[in-house]
Amino acid sequence: MHEWLADYSYRINLGRWIYAFSGALALLIGYIAIWARTRGIVNSNHVIALQNNL
């Protein structure tokens, strides 16, 4: 792998912080999506939802 990458003239070094930041951002987006969906379910009228599904 190192020999193959040595053929490239331009390289960038990615630190561990970029992976940590990407993972934290993905988790944050997931938590926000779950929170928004849960909030919508909690605020809905459950009686009407049950009547429509029966």
pLDDT of residue 7: 83
User: For the chain (length 54 residues), average pLDDT per consecutive 10?
Assistant: 81 88 98 94 80 70
Q: What is the reported pLDDT for 24?
A: 98
Burial 36-50 (b: 16+ CB within 10 A, else e): eeeeeeeeeeeeeee
Report residue 50 CA to chain centroid gap: 31
* pLDDT score at 23: 97
The answer to pTM > 0.75 is: no
Tell me what pLDDT residue 18 has. Answer: 93
pLDDT of residue 34: 97
* For the chain, domain boundaries: 16-53
